[in-house]
Amino acid sequence: MKQRWKKGLINIYYIPALVLFGGFVIYPLLKGLQISFTNWDGFSQNYSNVGLKNYQTLIQDGHIRTTLVNTVIYGFGSTLLQNVLGLAYALFLNQKFAGRNVTRAVIYMQAMVASLIMGYMYYFILQYDGGALNDIMKILGLDAVDWLSNGRRAVLLITLINSIQFVGVSMILYLAGLQGISASYYEAAELDGAGFWQKFRYITWPLLIPAVTSSVMLNLIGGLKLFDIIQPLTAGGPGFASHSLATLVSYTYFRGQNAGYSATIGIFSFILIMVVSIVLMKYFTKREGNV
């Protein structure tokens, strides 16, 4: 009896956490669902229920389609680039040579800088007038390019910059994975005459799958939520061409003063990100089970 009472008592310790989750996550989620059925403008007292009208608009909205494509490029493009480059860096820096620790530190350092500020750094490089990249174009005898003026190119550049900034995260995860692989596997494989590619294919890669899982999950969820870095580079422009779901929610609310519709986009992105995370988690758990 006393034991039970004590067990019950310590559960009180997680009440503060549950209160915070309830008040600032679950309640807003339900409230957001409710707002998504209204035509609220974000500040006035009067608004009415409009039923599924916002959701109908969502399906027909051309901007949403562009934004959705962009979000998928930001999410999956960054994940692909970051992991391929991160793995290459990790394989390279897993060798012993002078300066490898400094190199690791430099690559990971960028992940410490606020993405917003990173965006401004790259703005100085990509700017049309006086940008560092156009100076190189000039030296090569080519015409200056307004790098961020084309929507699709801007989306790809933002994806690239996001990947370069966070490649260190994947690199560190892969390095930790590589260090966990016993050297005796490689020695045995070498005795059997395995080459570089065979060793990678049959030893390194299968044993790295847990690191791949962590890295892909982190990158993908981060990429689908991309917000900070878009602001300094294009602010969603030109027009609506480089918006992500996150920047579009903000734009629709503050600039468009359409809170109802903004909440609808929010609910839509919630469902999208949940579905993607759950599907991926299932896929990776199954795959890790098979190896």
Partner 1 sequence: MKKGGIRSRFSICTVIAALICAFHLIPFYIMLGVALKSPYDTSSRWVFPGYLYLDNFREAIRYGKILKSILSNVIITGGAVIGITVVGALAAYPLARNQSRVNKVVRTFSLGMMMIPALSLLVPLYSLMVDIGGISTYWGIIIILVTFQLPTSIFLYTNFIISIPAALDEAAAIDGCSRLKVFFLIILPQLKPVTASVVIMTGVSCWNDYMFSLYFLQSPQIKTVTLSVASFFTQTQSNMGAAAAGALLGIVPIVTLYLCLQKYFIKGMLDSAIK
To partner 1, the closest distance from the beta carbon of 199 in angstroms equals 17
Cβ closest to partner 1, residue 59 vs residue 202: 59
To partner 1, the closest distance from the beta carbon of 167 in angstroms equals 9
To partner 1, the closest distance from the beta carbon of 226 in angstroms equals 9
Neighbours of 60 (CB within 10 A): 8
The DSSP letter of residue 22 is I
Strand, helix or coil at 38? strand
Cβ closest to partner 1, residue 95 vs residue 290: 95
Cβ closest to partner 1, residue 232 vs residue 238: 232
Phi/psi of residue 248, each to 5°? -70, -40
List, in order, residues 6 or more apart from 115 with CB less than 8 Å away. 162, 165, 228, 229
To partner 1, the closest distance from the beta carbon of 129 in angstroms equals 11
Q: Can you list the positions of beta strands (E) in 24-83?
A: none
What's the Cα-to-Cα distance from 155 to each of 8, 125, 250, 287, rounded to whole Å? 53, 16, 18, 32
Cβ closest to partner 1, residue 132 vs residue 202: 132
Cβ closest to partner 1, residue 76 vs residue 270: 270
Cβ closest to partner 1, residue 100 vs residue 287: 100
To partner 1, the closest distance from the beta carbon of 131 in angstroms equals 7
Q: What is the spatial distance between Cα 79 and Cα 73, in angstroms, rounded to a whole number?
A: 9
Phi/psi of residue 49, each to 5°? -75, 135
Q: Apex CA 244: angle with CA 240 and CA 249, to 5°?
A: 85
Q: Is 187 exposed, middle or buried (0-12, 13-18, 19+ CB in 10 A)?
A: exposed
Phi/psi of residue 149, each to 5°? -85, -15
To partner 1, the closest distance from the beta carbon of 181 in angstroms equals 15
To partner 1, the closest distance from the beta carbon of 18 in angstroms equals 7
Cβ closest to partner 1, residue 114 vs residue 142: 114
* CA atoms within 13 Å, Cβ hemisphere of 171: 26
CB 219 within 8 A of CB 166: yes
Question: Hey, which residues does 49 pair with through a beta bridge?
Answer: 38
